[in-house]
């Protein structure tokens, strides 16, 4: 057998193996890439990639979350609200903490902290106590909402609970620091220091 035929055979086997590899790896890599773009504040690229992923798998709640986060970053709250509603509708049969948290975040941005607290309560009720970091972040987000309502004492209590759940939670530490000086500085919804992208 000639060397050329052997090389062609090896190349053909490589093509077959690549074709047989599930597209899931590429899909998961795309989701990770979109998260990275969001963390770099490259919202246009993130939303474009997330929409491409959404076309490939239209019932993936995490991808809807990426779209919501990118839309918020772009200031497209109308589309963010629409995508968050899809998350809620698609996730009705499972604990859809990500969807509830994004709806809470949107309600906060729409100047409805009370409605945000309601959604947050639902998210906390669906978060297992074993997920200490998520629990702490949600409690700290609730503290931020209390600050928006002018309730610095309630905010300090909530951050205390968050820090008992996870002593080094960055969101809880940041909100606790803001709660201590809340009377001196104004609090704006869009300045929320919590990473709510779960």
Give residue-wise pLDDT tens across range 40-86: 999 999 999 999 999 999 989 999 999 999 999 999 999 999 999 99
Residues 102 and 198 in one domain: yes
Residues 77 and 108 in one domain: no
The answer, yes or no, to whether residue 18 has pLDDT greater than 80, is no
Residues 179 and 150 in one domain: yes
The answer, yes or no, to whether residue 13 has pLDDT greater than 60, is no
Distance between CA atoms of residues 16 and 33, nearest Å: 26
Domain boundary among 93, 111, 138: 93
Residues 50 and 135 in one domain: no
**Domain assignment of residue 195, given as a range:** 95-198
Total domain count for the chain? 2
Residues 111 and 151 in one domain: yes
Is residue 16 one of the residues assigned to a domain? no
pLDDT tier at 184, thresholds 50, 70, 90? low
- CATH code of the domain covering residue 42: 1.25.40.10
Average pLDDT taken over every residue of the chain: 87
* pLDDT recorded at residue 6: 45
Residues 101 and 78 in one domain: no
- Exposure of 27 by Cβ count < 10 A (0-12 exposed, 13-18 middle, 19+ buried)? middle
Residues 145 and 192 in one domain: yes
Distances in Å between the alpha carbon of 197 and those of 2, 23, 46?
56, 24, 13
Reading the block at residue 39, the tokens are 């963390």
Residues 87 and 133 in one domain: no
Domain boundary among 46, 70, 93: 93
Alpha carbon 47 to its chain centroid, in Å, reads 13
- Exposure of 140 by Cβ count < 10 A (0-12 exposed, 13-18 middle, 19+ buried)? buried
Residues 83 and 160 in one domain: no
Q: Give the number of other Cβ atoms within 10 Å of residue 169's Cβ.
A: 23
* pLDDT recorded at residue 95: 62
**DSSP string across 69-137:** HHHHHHT-HHHHHHHHHHHHHHTTTS--HHHHHHHHHHHHHTT-HHHHHHHHHHHHHTS-TT-HHHHHH
- Residues across the chain: 198
């Amino acid at each position: 057998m000639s060397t050329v035929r052997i090389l062609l055979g090896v190349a053909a086997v490589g093509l077959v193996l690549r074709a047989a590899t599930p597209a899931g790896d590429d899909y998961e890599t795309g989701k990770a890439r979109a998260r990275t773009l969001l963390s770099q504040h490259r919202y246009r690229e993130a939303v474009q990639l997330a929409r491409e992923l959404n076309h490939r798998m239209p019932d993936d709640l995490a991808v809807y979350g990426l779209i919501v986060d990118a839309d918020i970053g772009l200031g497209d709250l109308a589309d963010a609200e629409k995508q968050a509603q899809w998350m809620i509708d698609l996730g009705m049969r499972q604990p859809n903490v990500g969807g509830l948290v994004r709806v809470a975040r949107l309600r906060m941005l729409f100047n409805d902290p009370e409605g945000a607290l309601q959604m947050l309560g639902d998210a906390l009720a669906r978060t297992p106590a074993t997920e200490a970091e998520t629990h702490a972040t949600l409690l700290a987000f609730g503290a931020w909402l209390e600050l928006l309502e002018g309730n610095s004492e309630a905010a300090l209590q909530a951050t205390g609970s968050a820090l008992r759940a996870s002593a080094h939670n960055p969101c809880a530490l940041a909100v606790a620091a803001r709660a201590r000086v809340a009377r001196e500085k104004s609090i704006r919804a869009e300045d929320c220091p919590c990473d709510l992208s779960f």
